[in-house]
C-alpha cells in the first residue's frame, strides 16, 4: 500500500519570507503526522532558502512516522545525513541555484559516485533512493549503484496528464516495471496533485511512497491542512 510523505519545504519558505518562527515548521511536521501523513520529507539546500539544516536537526528526533531527507550529496549534505540518520535519503542532482528539482540522475555516467554514496548511507542503516527520469535504463543502472529504491521524477507526467493520461503514464510504467524487475522499490514525486495522483497509483500500484509538498500546501490554503492530507490519502489508499 502506497504511503504519503508530506514535504514541508513550502511551510519553511513562508516562515523564512518574514523571519521569526511563523509558521512553526516543527509543529507543522507533527501536525501533518497527526492528520494522517505516513512520513515527513525535507529537502535542505545549501542556501537554506526553505528548510534549514538546523530544522532537520530539530525535527528528526520528534518524527514518529518516517523521515525522508532529499538532496544533492555534496559534503555538507552527506555530513548532515550521517549525523541525523533518517529512515530514507533520496539523492537528487539539483544545482545549488535550482528553484526546484528539475531532472533525475544519469545513473550510468554517475554510477561510481552514486555507488560510493549509497554504500556509505546503507552502512548506517539508511534506506537509499535515487531520483530518476522516466527511463528504464536509468532504473536498471540505479540498481547497479546499490540503492534500495528509485524515485520517479513525475513533472512530465503531471504536465502531460491533461492532454492524455495514458500517454503521460506510459514511460513511468515502463520505468517502474524495470525497477521492480531489478529488485528496486519505487517512489514518486514532483507535481503530483489531487487531479493526477489516483490514476498514477492505479496504474503503478506497487508504488511504495509518494512525496508531495507544493500541491498539498496550495490546497491547504483553501481546504485546511487536515482535510487536504485526508483528501490526498484517499487518492493513494485505493486498494
Q: What is the pLDDT of residue 97?
A: 62
CB 38, CB 235: distance < 8 Å: no
Q: Which of 50, 66, 190, 209 is catalytic?
A: 190
**Domain 3-236 carries which CATH code?**
3.20.20.70
Predicted pLDDT of residue 103:
82
Tens digits of residue pLDDT in 105-156 = 999 999 999 999 999 999 999 999 999 999 999 999 999 999 999 999 999 9
Active-site residue flag, 70:
yes
> Which is catalytic among the residues 33, 38, 43, 66?
43
Angstrom CA distances, 194 to 38, 191, 200, 203, 220, stand at 17, 10, 11, 15, 12
Kindly list the domain boundaries of the chain, sorted by start residue.
Answer: 3-236
66 classed as catalytic: no
Active site residue 96: no
* Catalytic residue chosen out of the listed positions 66, 70, 151, 155: 70
User: Could you tell me if residue 185 is left (phi over 0), alpha (psi between -120 and 50 degrees) or otherwise beta?
Assistant: beta
Q: What percent of the chain has pLDDT over 70?
A: 97
Q: How confident is the chain (239 residues) per 10-residue block, as mean pLDDT?
A: 97 95 98 98 94 98 98 97 98 73 88 98 98 98 98 98 98 98 98 98 98 98 98 97
Cell of 152: 520517479
Distance CA 226, CA 100 (A): 25
Side-chain half-sphere exposure of 202, counting CA atoms within 13 A:
9
Task: State the Cα–Cα distance between residues 112 and 106, nearest whole angstrom.
Answer: 11
Q: How far apart are CA 74 and CA 54, in angstroms?
A: 17
User: Would you say 130 and 105 are in contact if contact means Cβ atoms under 8 Å apart?
Assistant: yes
pLDDT given at position 94: 80
Question: Rg of the chain over CA atoms, in angstroms?
Answer: 17
Amino acid at each position: 500500500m502506497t504511503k504519503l510523505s508530506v514535504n514541508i519545504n513550502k511551510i519553511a519558505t513562508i516562515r523564512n519570507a518574514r523571519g521569526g518562527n511563523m509558521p512553526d515548521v516543527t509543529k507543522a511536521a507533527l501536525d501533518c503526522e497527526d492528520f494522517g501523513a505516513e512520513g515527513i520529507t525535507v529537502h535542505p539546500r545549501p542556501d537554506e532558502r526553505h528548510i534549514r539544516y538546523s530544522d532537520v536537526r530539530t525535527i528528526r528526533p520528534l518524527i514518529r512516522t518516517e523521515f525522508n531527507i532529499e538532496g544533492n550529496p555534496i559534503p555538507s549534505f552527506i555530513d548532515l545525513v550521517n549525523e541525523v540518520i533518517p529512515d530514507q535519503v533520496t539523492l537528487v542532482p539539483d544545482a545549488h541555484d535550482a528553484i526546484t528539482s528539475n531532472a533525475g540522475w544519469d545513473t550510468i555516467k554517475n554510477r561510481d559516485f552514486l555507488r560510493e554514496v549509497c554504500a556509505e548511507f546503507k552502512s548506517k542503516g539508511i534506506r537509499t533512493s535515487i531520483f530518476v527520469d522516466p527511463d528504464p535504463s536509468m532504473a536498471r543502472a540505479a540498481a547497479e549503484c546499490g540503492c534500495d529504491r528509485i524515485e520517479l521524477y513525475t513533472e512530465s507526467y503531471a504536465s502531460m496528464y491533461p492532454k492524455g493520461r495514458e500517454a503521460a503514464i506510459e514511460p513511468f510504467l515502463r520505468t517502474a516495471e524495470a525497477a521492480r524487475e531489478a529488485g528496486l522499490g519505487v517512489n514518486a514525486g514532483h507535481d503530483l496533485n489531487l487531479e493526477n495522483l489516483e490514476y498514477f497509483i492505479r496504474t503503478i500500484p506497487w508504488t511504495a511512497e509518494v512525496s508531495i509538498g507544493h500541491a498539498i500546501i496550495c490546497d491547504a490554503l483553501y481546504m485546511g491542512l487536515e482535510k487536504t492530507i485526508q483528501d490526498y490519502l484517499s487518492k493513494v489508499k485505493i486498494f
